[in-house]
Amino acid sequence: MLPLRETLQRLAMRLDLDFRNPALLDQAFTHTSYVNEQRGKSIEDNERLEFLGDAVLQLVVSEYLFRRFPELAEGELTRMRSAIVCEPSLVRFAEALGFGDAVLLGKGEERTGGRTRPSLLADVFEAFVGALYLDQGLDAVRAFLERNLFAHLPEKGQADKDFKTRLQEKVQTLGFAAPEYRVVEERGPSHDRHFVVEVLIAGRAAGRGSGRSKKEAEQQAAERTLKMIETTDLSEWR
């Protein structure tokens, strides 16, 4: 694997971004597990940037939805924003951008698959947004999200439906009862709980999802099940 600085330089070039303060980009991709192994060194992890990035992301997504859907009421806009700014969605965008390859991890986190852990990827995406905001302001964040997030959102008619709603509608059109959801795993301390949820269609396991809440895990499981249905003949499931 390339050194962090070179990896991040290539990532920034691919995203057509030129950070004025490269240290912010480094920090956005520095996980706390790495910092904990570098005792005595003045290295900052990405948790503060993650905090800021979450707020910036909420603002820019809210502004985008407000302008794009002038006919929608507050409740509908809130539901749409929640479907976008949630762990499963942020993980999908982080994976598409190759963020996992650029994260600086501690040895233990690396060994246990941290590079692909959903909560870590979602946190890195938020930290990156926070770093970009500090480096270049809201306009740069808007432009980045326009290219890499908003351009890949569902069209009107589906955009205000979460994945669970869309899955229920899909399976019912195929002649099945509404899907069921069950928690198959819970891990992590109480302040950082992580859930794995499985979707059942006609009693059969379909897709799985994970998240920091049961709701997020269910949404990701529903999204993955929708993708599975596109390439699977469910006639034998009846």
Domain endpoint, select from 100, 127, 152: 152
Catalytic residue among 50, 126, 162, 223: 126
Residue identified by tokens 């971004």 is: 17
Domain endpoint, select from 127, 152, 177: 152
Domain membership of residue 183 (yes or no) is yes
16 catalytic residue (yes or no) = no
Domain membership of residue 158 (yes or no) is no
- Residue pair 49/58 in contact (Cβ under 8 Å)? The answer is no
Residues 108 and 21 in one domain: yes
pTM: 0.69
Question: Structural domain of residue 168, as residue ranges?
Answer: 163-233
Q: What is the pLDDT of residues 156-171, one digit of tens each?
A: 544 446 788 888 888 8
Catalytic residue among 26, 45, 50, 54: 54
**pLDDT tier, 135 (very low <50, low <70, confident <90, very high otherwise):** very high
Residues 91 and 140 in one domain: yes
| Nearest CA among 166, 188, 181, 165 for reference residue 214 | 181
Contacts for 165-171: CB closer than 8 Å, 24+ residues apart:
166/222, 166/226, 167/199, 167/222, 167/225, 167/226, 170/226, 170/229, 171/201, 171/229
Domain membership of residue 38 (yes or no) is yes
Residues 11 and 116 in one domain: yes
- Cα(204)–Cα(136) distance, rounded to whole angstroms? 49
Bridge partners, residue 183, by sequence? 197
The tokens describing 215, both together, are 């709701």
Residues 11 and 86 in one domain: yes
Domain membership of residue 143 (yes or no) is yes
87 catalytic residue (yes or no) = no
